[in-house]
Chains A and B, each alone.
Chain A
Amino acid sequence: MSEHTVRLVVNGREMQGSAEARMTLVDFLRDVLGLTGTHVGCEHGVCGACSVLFDGRPVRACLMYAVMADGHAVTTVEGLQGSDGSLSPLQDAFWENHAMQCGYCTPGMLVATHALLAGNPDPSEEDIREAIGGNLCRCTGYVQIVEAVQMAARKMREAKS
């Protein structure tokens, strides 16, 4: 059993902690770094509640050991707001459209759709459903989530032009 020091950049800040090799990235983020916004739902890579951005790409944090993240950059839901605490257009659109109920899948949904909009400013409904296709929600039936992303995309395009 090997114990490791894991150093990584989380939400733009350098952080470090100690982890056994077998500690997953999601457990490390939650229990060692205290960032409990990322959630655990299944621990076998299906539900997507643990989604984070890893070097900018959405991945399942339950399918990675923390040691593998050493030297890399992770963004969690806590890193989606502006540094002054302002909500991102996506977060605001989730609120405006009530794109959640219990909130448990929401961090994963925000991460997945944040990555979508970063790469595709004008996604179709199919693109949005594809982006969240690996994030299970048992509350909303996904409709208001899709609507929120459509609104966010529109507002972001308007802000640019």
Chain B
Amino acid sequence: MKAASFDYVRANSLAEACKALADAAPDGRIIAGGQTLVPLMAMRLARPAVLVDVNSVAELAGIAVKGDRLVIKACTRQADALASAEVRDNVPLLAEALSHVGHAQTRNRGTVGGSLANADPSAEIPLIVRTLDAEIVAASTTGTRSIAADGYFEAAMMTALAPEECLVEVRFPVWPMRRCGWGFEEISIRRSDFAIVAVAAQVELDAGGACVRIHVGIGGAAPAPLRAGPVEAALAGTALDDAAVRAACAQIAGLVDPDSDVHATADYRRRVATKLAARTIIAARDRARGG
């Protein structure tokens, strides 16, 4: 399983990376962690003419809190994001999701941006990006632009990024965690496998325990991660009691558009997404109450 031939360029700056992509367009690809790209190339399902290596671009790595945003640079290793106190303290939902991404060894190389650029429908990082309405910043030789989460994921493995664009950073909104709680559940066949379905939820309660904000995201049950809008609308303002949560989640079967594959049927994904959503929202509520 050897890749088809390609040319290799190691970029030392974001500008170099963008120039290399532009020169090779549309057959150039960024390689960061390579944990999904290299297997695709080994199976000759991906055959870029030019690989642009951004692992040495210092300006593309790092985690920082800027105002009410947690900004993670694209080439930040998943392992570093998982170990980061800033991530844990500001977006604990992301920290939890990261612990489910692949395996320790793949997290040592895989990057936050790489997962987003790959946009596997069942991947955890895209799910959190969608759930929390994060913004994605991309650059090219013609400049930089910000893409909202709801406009970023187009279809399975397809994003709004142009072939000559390089992902720069992801900006996660930070919620006031003392009144907020998160929940995350996924079902995978083995521990380190891709999720069959995953659900992420984050809630904010007011002083009286009513839900003033709720975001529920579902992954693996559609070509892209989706927000369960009708579920959120049904539960906003309520106390999120178990029965109401389960009743609201019954709508999920109609919201999702899952596929069947060798690991699970569409019906499985539909039913389990519904069950996991209820569990996740209830867990988020309990964390919010306890915190």
Binding site for B on A (CB under 8 A): 1-2, 4, 20-22, 24, 43-45, 48, 51, 54, 57-60, 62-65, 67-68, 70, 112, 130-131, 133-134
Contacts and interface: CB of A to CB of B under 8 A. Distances in A.
A63 B39 CA distance: 7
16 contacts: A1-B6, A1-B7, A2-B6, A21-B8, A22-B3, A43-B2, A44-B1, A45-B106, A48-B105, A54-B109, A59-B105, A59-B108, A60-B35, A63-B106, A64-B38, A65-B51
Shortest Cβ-Cβ A-B pairs, 3 listed: A134-B103, A21-B8, A44-B39
Interface residues of B, number: 30
B1 A130 contact: no
A134 B106 contact: yes
A63 B42 CA distance: 9
B8 A134 contact: no
Interface of B: 1-8, 10, 31, 34-35, 38-39, 41-43, 51, 53, 55, 79, 102-106, 108-109, 191-192
Contacts of B7: 1-2, 21
Contact of A59 (B2, B5, B109): B109
Contacts of B192: 133-134
Contacts of A45: 35, 38-39, 106
Given A21-B7, A22-B2, A44-B43, 6 more contacts: A1-B6, A21-B6, A44-B39, A45-B35, A60-B35, A68-B53
Contacts of A57: 79, 108
Contact of B42 (A2, A43, A70): A43
Contact of A22 (B5, B35, B102): B5
A128 B72 CA distance: 29
B34 A4 contact: no
Given A22-B3, A43-B42, A45-B38, A65 B8 contact: yes
